[in-house]
Structure 1
Amino acid sequence: MQVSVENTGTLGRLMKIQVPAEQIDGKISTRLKQMSREVRLKGFRPGRVPMSVIKQRFGQQVRQEIIGQTIQESLGEAFRQEKLQPVGRPKVEPDVESLKGGDLEYTAEFEVFPDMGETDISTLEIDQPKANVNDDDVSTMITTLQQQRAVWESKKGKVKNGDRVALEYIAVAGETRHPAIGKERIMVMPNGGGMPVAFENATLGHKAGDTLEVDVEFPEDFRIAELAGKTARVSMDINVVEAAEMPEVDADFVKLFGVESGEIDDLKTEIKNNLERELATATTSLLKLEVTNKLLLARNDLEVPQALIEEEAGNLQKADVQRLQQNGIENPQEQPLELYLDAARQRVMAGLLFSEIARANEIQIDGERVREAIESIAQTFEQPAQVVELYYNNQNLLSGVENSVLEEQVVDWVLTQAKVKKNKMNFQEVIQIASRGR
């Protein structure tokens, strides 16, 4: 077998492979002989079909099968011989004439992973978020619990803080329209944090039946890819305005949340413990986002395989469709793949950089941290022991946690090498920014 490799770009490769005719013919002959012993044809006894008949009836079919098998086997052998690791599925093009007979010749076009080089972590300046849960945060959560148990009733008056608003909207930024067809239905509250403040607070002072327009600046990390980092003209139709009848915070209310004593102080203690766990998770997420952004900034010249970018863009595209479906939009239209390419490139770059840091510094997955992470997830379910068992018996679930833990370990290592500055924040800031960054 002869193999040659050409560079078609920084990461692009074109491999030419030639397999000797005798190797192909030998495999074809072996397969035809086997068929002659097994095939049953009318007019011939089993195992007595002449080879000339076998070749006439099955020769072309067998040749195609052998060529397909040989391409698959020889391509893998060629990659090993040239010590190349392709990204994605190579584009294979057989030489048409060689399919008819003689040596088998074909080309394989593919990309390879980039040479990651070195990232000087010591030059990175990392802002490390620092926040605590205070009494105001606990009080805010109690108010949220009241809202969850509130009786909501439609009102004719104007929207004020504490009300919730059912609306439909369209956002237009240049040539971009979201959603592509129809209007998206959502429920918002002024200063609720689910959408940009300008979006939510535009409803203040309006009432059901009103139509309004407002310019909204969407953050770079906004969850809807086609709006992220853009200023859009948003048209809203307010359908329903509801006000809440809040329950009293008494013993009966406290017991609704599993605090059997009915004591408000016990509820506050449990809430604070839960908020501290939430803050720890959000801080980890925000810190990972900060490290990721600084790594991307430091290595923005890194070229990554287009195949990986397009694959990740497809994943983002599918996630957007699923989100629209969950919001009640039937048969949502996919946005063009091009809208997701920039975000996909960033995600692919981040993944490669994290993997390279782990490899270069021999950072291994910490099994104890994996167990702690799984147990933390399990605590949110009624039967945590069964959830832990489920994760350890499901390789996909386990791998997801392991990858997340390894990324956290890489972040921890980066913090030991970079220039770290403490960034004081409050609980809500950490939660909201981390939520937008997911």
Structure 2
Amino acid sequence: MAVQIENLGQLDRKVTLEFARADLAKAREDRLAKLGKTMKAPGFRPGKVPKTMVEKQYGMQVDFELQFDKASELFYELAQKEKIQLAGQPRLDPKSELDADKIVFDAYFEVLPEVKIGDFSKAEVTKYTTDISDAEIDRALDVLRKQQVHYHPRGDAGDHGDGGANTAAQAGDQVIIDFVGKIDGVEFAGGKAENFEYVLGEGRMLPEFEAATLGLKAGDSKTFPLSFPADYHGKDVAGKTADFTITVKSVNWAHLPVIDDAFALSLGVAAGGVAKMREEIKENLDRETKRRITTLLKGEVMEKLNSICELDTPKSLVAQEQERLVESARQDLIQRGIPNAKDAPIPSEMFAEQAMKRVRLGLILSDLVKQQNLAATADQIKAEIDEQAATYEDPKEVVRWFYSNPSRLKDVENVVLEDNVIKFFTSQAKVIDKAITFEELSKLN
């Protein structure tokens, strides 16, 4: 067997594999005998078919399979002996006939690249800091209040009041209406509804529709023109103007719950009332802040690593990653209930750039972890799991859930490993601390 490895380019290699066909004679005889035991032929009982018929039926197939298996075996023996770092599976190309005395294969393969780690000290990254103030807690409480909003008819007195003397529809009110729309005097599909409910100011309806509803009272009717945008999702009416007539059935004002101990109890705060509720909200916001800051820093570090480290990217690994991304996209479509998602054509080319970046980062991280001994330790993995579990009602059960599945543990290990890389990178690079508000942080991608 030839062991000379030919360099075909940056990462592409070729080696020629040779072996005698006679070396496969025993394996060939055994496989044909096994196939003969189950082969069926007219006039013969199973297992009694003549060898000549078995040979005629299966001979070429067995030669093909055995020769490829032998070539693959020889290739991986060579790769192990020569300590070749393979980037993917080899492509075996037969160069001889099936019945030749000497069988020859060319094996084409890619090797992993050398990664040139850049100078981190020349890199610059931003680390955001955010303090959760009472204002942020108040805003979070306002969101929680709105999630428990309920409505009362304007003008009807009740335990929560009547909403004021003005019974006309105002921003924030819930209205229930009948409507019908016509284009050139003809009703169109989707342009009619009864007892239709929406809240003014939430942006659910087109601005012209909401503007026409403002100021109307229960029992009022109004006809107005409405121009559909050219990019409106309803293609039949996009870019056209319709005349709508609306009849208001009900105008209801929003009543938000009072922030008191009863409200805290409704949110699951069993003891401690409003003070405890605010404390728990701050803890949640602190966790969310930490997560966002870590995600932003991680993204920036990964971009820097990708730009300052040099390597050739194996085409085979990029192709594999593209296929994984295609399959992930397909599964997403299936889960969303998209018709025919299983067979929908998804071109792998659309993921080429993303796949390239992922492969490059994977190779960079792998090399950096080895060089700097940044692998996740058992203690680090345990600490990460304990931190995640602490946010749940039964932390011990969550810990058991993580440790019961190797793939979940692997996910946590990857998180810790990336944290180790970020810590090492930021210890070398120039880090600019930047204080921003929680609201500003929330708007950053």
TM-score by length of 1: 0.71
Q: 2:2 aligns to what?
A: 2
Q: 1:72 to 1:207 in 2, by over 3 A?
A: farther
| Residues 34-433 of structure 1: pairs in structure 2 closer than 5 A | 59-95=59-95, 97-151=96-150, 207=210, 211-212=228-229, 245-261=255-271, 263-299=273-309, 302-323=311-332, 329-331=338-340, 333=344, 335-433=346-444
Q: 1:180-204, CA deviations, whole angstroms, 9 ceiling, x for partnerless residues? A: xxxxxxxxx9999xxxxxxx99976
**SS class of match (1:421):** strand
The Cα of 1:401 is off from its aligned counterpart by: 0.7
Q: Which amino acid in 2 is paired with 1:415?
A: T
Q: 1:39 to 1:256 in 2, by over 3 A?
A: same
Q: 1:132 to 1:3 in 2, by over 3 A?
A: same
Q: Structure 2 CA distance, aligned partners of 1:392 and 1:417? A: 34
Paired residues of 1:378 and 1:387 also in contact (CA < 8 A): yes
The Cα of 1:78 is off from its aligned counterpart by: 2.5
Paired residues of 1:370 and 1:401 also in contact (CA < 8 A): yes
Gaps of 5+ in 1: 164-188, 193-199, 215-233, 236-241
Q: 1:162 to 1:44 in 2, by over 3 A?
A: closer
**SS class of match (1:132):** coil
Gaps of 5+ in 2: 153-167, 176-198, 212-225, 232-237, 240-251
The Cα of 1:54 is off from its aligned counterpart by: 6.7
Q: Which amino acid in 2 is paired with 1:298?
A: I
The Cα of 1:65 is off from its aligned counterpart by: 3.6
Between the two proteins, the alignment pairs up a number of residues equal to 373
Q: In terms of mean alpha carbon deviation, does 344-353 or 403-412 score higher?
A: 344-353
**SS class of match (2:90):** strand
Identity of aligned pairs, percent? 28
Q: Report the RMSD for the aligned CA atoms in angstroms.
A: 4.2
Q: In terms of mean alpha carbon deviation, does 306-315 or 276-285 score higher?
A: 306-315
Q: 1:54 to 1:323 in 2, by over 3 A?
A: closer
Paired residues of 2:28 and 2:63 also in contact (CA < 8 A): yes
Q: 1:372 to 1:335 in 2, by over 3 A?
A: same
Q: 1:239 aligns to what?
A: none
Q: Which amino acid in 1 is paired with 2:110?
A: E
Q: Structure 2 CA distance, aligned partners of 1:47 and 1:109? A: 41
Larger radius of gyration: 2
Q: Structure 1 CA distance, aligned partners of 2:315 and 2:404? A: 34
Q: 1:273-330, CA deviations, whole angstroms, 9 ceiling, x for partnerless residues? A: 111122122222111111111112223x533122222333333344444555566644
Q: Which amino acid in 2 is paired with 1:288?
A: K
TM-score by length of 2: 0.70
Q: Which amino acid in 2 is paired with 1:286?
A: L
**SS class of match (1:266):** helix
Q: Structure 1 CA distance, aligned partners of 2:109 and 2:253? A: 59
Q: Structure 2 CA distance, aligned partners of 1:130 and 1:7? A: 51
**SS class of match (2:299):** helix
Q: In terms of mean alpha carbon deviation, does 340-349 or 301-310 score higher?
A: 301-310
